[in-house]
Amino acid sequence: MAHVISDETIEYVGILAKLELSEEEKAQAKKDMGNMLDYMDMLNDLDTEGVEPLFHVYPLSNVFREDVVENGDERDRMLANAPEEKEGAFKVPKTVE
Amino acid sequence: MNRQYETVIGLEVHVELATETKIFCGCSTRFGGAPNTHTCPVCTGMPGALPVLNRQVVEYAAAVGLATGCTINQCCRFDRKNYFYPDNPQNYQISQLYEPICRDGHIDIDTPSGIKRIGIHEIHMEEDAGKLIHDEWEDCSLVDFNRSGVPLIEIVSEPDMSSAEEVIAYLEKLRLIIRYLGASDCRLQEGSMRADVNLSVRKAGSRELGTRTEMKNLNSFKAIARAIEGERDRQIELLEMGRQVVQETRRWDDNKEASHAMRSKEDARDYRYFPEPDLVPVLISDEWLERIRAGQPELRTQKLIRYKKEFDIPDYDAQIITSEKKLADLFEAASAICKKPKKVSNWLMGETMRLLKEREMEADELSFSPEHLAELIRLTGEGVINGSVAKEVFLKIFLEDVDPVKYVEDHGLKTVNDEGALQETVEKVLADNPQSVADYRSGKEKALGFLVGQTMKAMKGKADPQAVNRMLKERI
């Protein structure tokens, strides 16, 4: 039962991911997503009765930091990665809600 | 027309926790630093940077949950909420959707028709976003990530409120509890407490919920009340005109006293949550939970009951004193030292409140020590200083936390108990004011007050007014 991804779905997922896809990329993405969903269906066929859900691949829990300030002023280093900066801040296109 | 409708309100309250550091990195949470001076690869979303959870955040969140009757989820996890916005450098916010730390709590509020229980659906932990500053000169925005990663808890109520009054009562109670716990200072103006209001209206008696809107940008109790009333009226008007309420997020403009729809989030509302792979589950053992429970301070409701039993002060005083933990702490500590709770209460209810108001200060900014207030009460009780001097000294305690014993000594403010000197002064005042003496003798009680005043003045305010009174009466 192969999944067929509609053009609307690809369009929508593209918008959510802020991706501009070419027609060829869209066709490829449709195929890939269909395959992934088919794979999920296969998982759905398995009997998982009594199996605890796995949320993390490592058998770890409770990894904490104590509430102590460790970092100093690293502004220059952080801003070194900014495409543009102004007055100690990251400069971005005007964004108003 | 309004009476045919009822309003259904639920709140989402964000509270910034009072930790020293951010939720997932060792950057300071201090407010007001120069832009981006409290940032690191984690809170600016650099690729490959990994978050590590601040233990204190779990403790504060669980403490608030316990204080609001929640069930603590002893195995909770974090999830990613995906969206693009420049204040969110990772393009996702780490939050909790599937297994939040607290569920099913409640807060009881007082309403004119009695106590009403407001349900708490859940409390979850998450990170705050950065701050966008809109540049007036260039057509651009500037991002400051100092706030990015500051720990928040979001307290989601059930839609159990039906008026602005109930909403305010709920918020005040919630704020009081959290401040008592020391988990946050909950200042709406400064944004350490933010409330989003979900509101819908329906025909009275109907069981179905109407379409709701969410209102943001409410930064005072007054703004919240006005926004609720404005939005209720707007929705009723739409329905009366036969139109539909659109489910949307609206931004309240308190200056215009009106709200407007924010950029439609139809395409952005799909947050595609999934379990956060960079953080491991949080398991809260029974022992850990017990430790948090044992560390809980006494909350206001319990305090009020205890005050009634332990202290001989009016209910009204107890209500005011327990409305701020700082006041309650001062009251209890000073009373324990001087053993005169009524006097302590009088100082707090009277001069302290007056000075706070006069100086536009909040009770948690009080900086004087209970020892000095207790000393002042002792000095007054023993007649070392009189009432008006005590007020003068209290001002100094309030402002600079001076040691009253030393201050009274250094400034020569002790009441003069020298009977000889007082007698001499009384004689002189009587001799100088024969008319007042005559008036008093002919039954004008007021004249005595004048003579007391003259004597006090001559004694530079340092006489014991009762002694003056007694002596004058004897002499006339």
ipTM value of the model?
Answer: 0.89
3-state secondary structure of B196: strand
Is B425 found in the same domain as B372? no
Same-domain check for residues B271 and B377: no
On whether both B118 and B210 belong to a single domain, the answer is yes
Q: Is residue B388 part of a domain?
A: yes
Query: How far does the CA of residue B71 sit from the closest CA of chain A (Å)?
Result: 19
Cβ neighbours for B359, distance < 8 A, ≥ 6 positions apart? none
Tokens in use for A4?
């067929």
Is B438 within a domain? yes
Between chains, do A90 and B145 touch, taking CB under 8 Å as contact?
A: yes
Largest CA distance in chain A: 59
Judged by a CB distance cut-off of 8 A, whether residue B263 touches chain A is yes
Q: Do B29 and B43 meet the contact criterion of CB atoms below 8 Å apart?
A: no
Q: Clarify whether residues B460 and B378 are in a common domain.
A: no
Pairing status of strand B274-275 against strand B71-72: unpaired
Closest chain A residue to B140 measured between Cα atoms? A94
Name the residue among A79, A92, A97 with its Cβ closest to that of B263. A97
Spans of all domains in chain A: 7-45
Same structural domain for residues B311 and B344?
yes
**Residue at a domain's end among B225, B252, B287:** B287
> Distance from CA of residue B217 to its chain's centroid?
19
Does position A1 have pLDDT exceeding 70, yes or no? no
Kindly state the percentage of chain B with pLDDT values over 70: 97
Residues B349 and B453 in one domain: no
Topology annotation, domain A7-45: Histone, subunit A (1.10.20)
For residues A78 and B40, the answer to whether their CB atoms sit within 8 Å is yes
Single out the residue in B410, B429, B446 at which a domain terminates. Answer: B410
**Contact: B281, A81; criterion CB under 8 Å:** no
Same domain, B400 and B427: no
* Residue A56 pLDDT exceeds 50: yes
Q: How many CB atoms lie within 10 A of CB A76?
A: 11
Asked if residue B424 and residue B387 are part of one domain, the reply reads: no
| Inter-chain residue contact B143 with A89, CB threshold 8 Å | yes
Q: Does residue B254 sit in the same domain as residue B307?
A: no
- Band (pLDDT 50/70/90 cuts) for residue B263 is low
Distance, in Å, from the CA atom of B226 to the CA atom of B230, rounded to the nearest integer, reads: 6
Length of chain A: 97
**Residue B92 to residues B44, B305, B447: CA-CA distances in angstroms?**
12, 46, 79
Cα–Cα distances in Å, from B351 out to B347, B368, B387, B461? Answer: 6, 13, 12, 19
Cα separation, B219 vs B457, in Å, equals: 51
Is B19 in Cβ contact with A67 (below 8 Å)? Answer: yes
DSSP annotation of B158 reads P
Across the interface, which of B36, B55, B85 has its CB nearest the CB of A89? Answer: B36
Q: What is the CATH number of the domain that holds B446?
A: 1.10.10.410
The pTM of this model reads 0.84
What is the tally of structural domains in chain B? 3
Which residue has better confidence, B368 or B449? B368
Q: Could you tell me which residues of chain A have a Cβ less than 8 Å from any Cβ in chain B?
A: 12, 15-16, 18, 55-56, 58, 60-71, 73-75, 78-79, 81, 86-97
User: Which contiguous run of DSSP H or E holds residue A90?
Assistant: strand A89-93
Tens of pLDDT, residues B335-360: 999 999 999 999 999 999 999 999 99
Find the domain containing B444 and state its range: 419-475
The predicted-structure confidence for B284-327, as pLDDT tens digits, reads as follows 999 999 999 999 999 998 999 999 899 988 999 999 999 999 99
Asked if B406 and B424 sit in the same domain, the reply is no
pLDDT digits (tens, 9 = 90+) for B83-136: 989 999 999 999 999 999 999 999 999 999 999 999 999 999 999 999 999 888
Q: Which chain A residues are closer than 8 Å to B55 by Cβ?
A: 64-67
Same domain membership, residue B211 and residue B108: yes
